[in-house]
Amino acid sequence: MTPYRLLFDHVLTRSDPEQAHHLGFAGIRAAAPVLGRLPRRSRPVEAMGLTFPNVLGLAAGFDKNAVGIDALAALGFGHVEIGTVTGEAQPGNPKPRLFRLPADRAVVNRMGFNNDGSEVVAARLAARGRRPGVVLGVNIGKTKLVPDDDQAAVEADYAKSARLLAPYADYLVVNVSSPNTPGLRNLQAVEKLQPLLEHVRRTADAVTASRIPLLVKIAPDLDDDDVLAVADLAGAIGLDGVIATNTTISRADLHTPDSVVEAAGAGGLSGQPLTERSLDVLRLLRGRVGPELTLVGVGGITSVADARARLDAGADLLQGYTAFIYEGPTWPARIVRGLGDPGARKPA
């Protein structure tokens, strides 16, 4: 067990999770000059016409407002996905809204897309400028006040974010799968998702000199037929990739006592309980789309074995978040080092 695990299990679990996140992230940013001098040994990965320094990235949700991209990359992440950013700034859901389930190495969150909004984040990215060696993903979502049954308003809301943020992104992600914005997951229905993705595609193309990759992030709670429908849609409209998966609303088979789970309340569950379903969704997608579409495996990746299993199932890239919280700042470098050859594709 690492010193961080001991500290986390015996000390940090007693602190407020959201406050601990802010303090920990501030510490990472403060340490960035030192982290940037640490040697890193990894092999690059080619995907979507981009070169990723290694296979493992940080999932959206950790750096919602693009305030620590380079510090996070210095920890060993091959790409950093910021957001979710919405068209308009919003405070998110009332606190408390973040809960740990240590017995399951899991987290429940109902943050509600709290972020500074697309205008502020775009200005921050403009001031940062483009920097070599860091692949930047930008994850965009729906502003809470925009009704999901008003397709034109939804498309306009996502388009605002795409218009402002695409010029600074290496790839763009449409998030329709968080359980914490009312009605958002309804947008995963193909009849709503296709025109939304096509509108975002046109908007991004209009503001960028070259085509940037566009991906969609889906929920593990879709049934298999709906997963396959998204796969077919991705091929039909020329999507560049799918991120599988977001958090789940399921609370099945947890080790945490029911009373603790009920006290945490509604929200998306992330961490080890997602491992099997996220892996199954990835296999379904790869079996349907063939070898060309980029698939990003995320959800319950904690160990090197988890990472290898996801690559073997067809992932081109990986992302983590909850394991980063539980395992600490050396986790990304340990995973990349443990994979040995993170640039290797799945066996033929």
Catalytic residues: 178
**Is 126 known to sit in a ligand binding site?**
no
**Is 84 known to sit in a ligand binding site?**
yes
**Is 114 known to sit in a ligand binding site?**
no
Dmax (CA) of the chain: 54
Strand residue runs (E) in 63-186:
79-86, 98-101, 106-109, 135-141, 171-175
**Is 64 known to sit in a ligand binding site?**
yes
Give the angle 329-337-132 at the CA atoms, nearest 5°: 75
The phi and psi torsions of 105 (rounded to 5 degrees) equal 50, 50
**Is 97 known to sit in a ligand binding site?**
no
**Is 13 known to sit in a ligand binding site?**
no
Place of tokens 């340490």: 31
**Is 36 known to sit in a ligand binding site?**
no
Plot region of 285 (φ>0 → left; ψ -120 to 50 → alpha; else → beta): alpha
**Is 321 known to sit in a ligand binding site?**
yes
**Is 256 known to sit in a ligand binding site?**
no
**Is 180 known to sit in a ligand binding site?**
yes
The Cα 104–Cα 293 span in angstroms is 32
Residues listed for the chain: 348
Helices (H), the chain: 3-10, 17-30, 32-35, 69-74, 118-128, 151-165, 190-207, 224-237, 258-264, 275-289, 304-312, 322-327, 331-339
**Is 144 known to sit in a ligand binding site?**
no
**Is 63 known to sit in a ligand binding site?**
yes
**Is 217 known to sit in a ligand binding site?**
yes
Of the CA atoms within 13 Å of residue 313, those in its CB half-sphere come to 24
- Binding site membership for substrate: which residues? 64, 109-113, 175, 180, 246-247
**Residues in the annotated binding site for FMN:** 60-64, 84, 139, 175, 217, 245, 271, 300, 321-322
Q: Which residues make up each annotated binding site?
A: 60-64, 84, 109-113, 139, 175, 180, 217, 245-247, 271, 300, 321-322
